[in-house]
Amino acid sequence: MTLTVVCGGFWGDEGKGKILSYLALSDNPAIVVRAGVGTNAGHTIEFENREYKLRMIPSGFINPSIRLLIGAGVLVDPKVLFKELDETKTHDRFGVDYQSGIIEKKHIELDSSNGHLKGKIGTTGSGTGPANVDRALRKLKVARDIPELKPYLTDVSVEVNDALDLGLKVQAEGSQAILLSLFHGSYPYVTSKDTSAAAICSDIGVGPTRVSDVVVVLKSFVTRVGTGDLPGELPMDEVKKRGWTEYGAVTGRPRRAAPFNYELAKKAVRLNGATQIAVTKFDIIFPEIAKANDINQIKGDAEDFINKIEDETKVKVAFIGTGPSAEDIIDLREHI
């Protein structure tokens, strides 16, 4: 079985898009399938000197042989989806599940208006929370109700399970991250459903016995957008001084930041059942290793950091991100 599940370990924006785009090139999977909440996610992919910020199309699109799917659990905003289909020119290899939920204008308005969730929780305003409310009330439209989506409709669970039966590789792309989970995260400052590896399986219609690897993505420092506690949070001028300044891919809000947190990393590993860790933005902490592809370039403090992550979590670091581009990575899988 070759189903790899990629999920976020902190509060999102760990660089899942970067890891997924690398895996799409290196492992050449037959399918990359998007799980997670919906358009509240923004996955940044840099490839061949172009940057994409995608909210719907799976990050694996940079490999032109991959079939791209969106699972039934995911909320689709048709407007965002069609824009990204045009941008990525992936119409001929894209499919969306018959039962993926549909975000409508009213959901976005509810999410964004004053006194609603955007003010209280600091949501992304993308409509995902109110849409999941309507889904629970059994009054949400689903993809099969939208005529424009007809050419793309498919049964994602069947496609994914059939591919696995044939021994083909499948990658499942989580969104958000475990500390934003409605069940396991920093409630009430969380997103509108579970975001664990188990939820990712549920989103795409595969059973947990089919998973080969769970990759938890941990950034070299912790960031958070929106409201809620961030342990060890640094003042913004210190964040800037350290070169950790980032802006939300969906909202453009500056991200709050704190140093790497081993307790949170352990929690992420436990709640997701991680078999591998990807550490991203390592070059931000250790500029001398920028764009490295060879583990022998990781020495001194940088090596100690990786060793400490492994000692604390008891899970091996399989990938180290060394720059924004899909190819800026050290792949350690052959060593573990």
List residues binding Mg ion (CB under 5 A).
13, 42, 249
- Name the token pair of 125: 């305003």
Q: Binding pattern to ligand IMP, positions 202-241, x when CB under 6 A? A: -----------------------xx---------------
Regarding 181 and contact with ligand IMP (CB under 6 A), the answer is no
| Residue 107 annotated in active site | no
For residue 277, what are the β-bridge partners? 216, 317
Helices 156-165 and 197-204 cross at an angle (nearest 10°) of 100
Specify the residue for token string 């509108």: 192
What DSSP line would sit under 192-256, residue for residue? SS--SHHHHHHHHT--GGGEEEEEEEEESEEEE-SSS--TTPPPHHHHHHTT---B-TTT-PBPE
Query: Which region among 11-19, 93-101, 151-159, 316-324 touches ligand IMP (by CB under 6 A)?
Result: 11-19
Looking at beta carbons only, is 55 or 118 nearer to Mg ion?
A: 55
- Stated as kind and residue range, the H or E segment containing 94 is strand 94-97
Residues 37-56 that bind ligand IMP (CB under 6 A): 37, 40-42
- Are 20 and 6 in contact by the 8 Å Cβ rule? The answer is yes
Looking at beta carbons only, is 13 or 77 nearer to Mg ion?
A: 13
Out of ligand IMP, Mg ion, none, which partner does residue 192 contact, by CB within 5 to 8 A per kind? ligand IMP
Q: How far is Cα 306 from Cα 279, in angstroms, rounded to an integer? A: 8
Whole-number Cα distances in Å, 201 to 4, 68, 117, 285: 10, 16, 27, 33
Please name the amino acid found at residue 8: G
User: C-beta of 122: minimal distance to ligand IMP in Å?
Assistant: 5
Out of ligand IMP, Mg ion, none, which partner does residue 71 contact, by CB within 5 to 8 A per kind? none
| Residue 184 annotated in active site | no
CA 313 to chain CA centroid, Å, is 20
Out of Mg ion, ligand IMP, none, which partner does residue 59 contact, by CB within 5 to 8 A per kind? none
Residues 96-135 that bind ligand IMP (CB under 6 A): 121-124, 126, 128-129
Taking CB under 6 A as the criterion, the residue among 44, 88, 161, 175 binding ligand IMP is 175
Looking at beta carbons only, is 12 or 15 nearer to ligand IMP?
A: 12
User: C-beta of 179: minimal distance to ligand IMP in Å?
Assistant: 9
CA end-to-end span of the chain: 18
Out of Mg ion, ligand IMP, none, which partner does residue 176 contact, by CB within 5 to 8 A per kind? ligand IMP
Active site residues: 13, 43
Contact positions vs ligand IMP (CB under 6 A): 11-13, 37, 40-42, 121-124, 126, 128-129, 175-176, 180, 189, 191-192, 225-226
